[in-house]
C-alpha cells in the first residue's frame, strides 16, 4: 500500500498563542485513535517553532547555516503525519477530517504527497 506524507502548513505568527476550542483535544484524540486503529497512521507529530530550527543550505559547493526564526517565510511546516492508505482518495479523506477539527477562523494548509517507492 502506498504511503503519504501530510505536511501541515501554518503561519506561526498568526497562530502564536492561539486558543484551542475546549473540546479540540478530545476531538483530535478520537480521530487519531480511529486512524491508528484503522492501521493508517504510521507516525505523526507537531514541530517546534522555527525560532528553534536551523536551515542548512547547499549552494555553490558550500554549506551555510541559518538559525531561526525564519521571518521571510510566511507559512512553515507545523506538523506532519505519515500514513499508509489504499490510495490517494483515502489519504485525502483522512486529511479532510483532520483539517475540519480545527477552528473555522484558522488558516491551515495541508500538503499531501505520496512517498516515492521502488
DSSP result, 12-61: HHHHTTPPPPTTHHHHHHHHHHHHHHTT-EEEEEE---GGG-EEEEEETT
The ranges assigned to domains in the chain are 3-114
Q: What is the pLDDT of residues 94-108, one digit of tens each?
A: 999 999 999 888 889
Q: What is the mean pLDDT of residues 58-69?
A: 94
CATH of domain 3-114: 3.30.70.1060
CA dist., res. 38 & res. 41, Å (int): 8
Q: What is the pLDDT of residues 78-90, one digit of tens each?
A: 999 999 999 999 9
| pTM to 2 decimal places | 0.86
CA dist., res. 55 & res. 46, Å (int): 18
Give the pLDDT band of residue 13 (cuts 50, 70, 90).
confident
The C-alpha cell that represents 34 in the structure block = 480511529
Q: Which residues pair with 66 in a beta bridge?
A: 55
Amino acid at each position: 500500500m502506498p504511503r503519504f506524507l501530510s505536511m501541515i502548513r501554518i503561519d506561526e505568527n498568526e497562530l502564536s498563542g492561539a486558543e484551542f476550542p475546549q473540546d479540540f483535544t478530545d476531538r483530535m484524540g478520537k480521530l487519531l485513535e480511529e486512524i491508528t486503529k484503522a492501521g493508517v497512521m504510521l507516525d505523526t507529530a507537531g514541530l517546534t517553532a522555527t525560532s528553534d530550527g536551523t536551515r542548512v543550505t547547499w549552494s555553490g559547493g558550500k554549506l551555510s547555516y541559518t538559525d531561526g526564526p525564519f521571518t521571510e517565510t510566511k507559512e512553515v511546516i507545523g506538523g506532519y503525519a505519515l500514513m499508509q492508505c489504499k490510495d490517494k482518495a483515502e489519504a485525502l479523506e483522512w486529511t479532510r477530517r483532520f483539517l475540519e477539527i480545527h477552528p473555522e477562523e484558522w488558516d491551515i494548509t495541508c500538503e499531501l504527497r505520496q512517498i516515492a517507492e521502488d
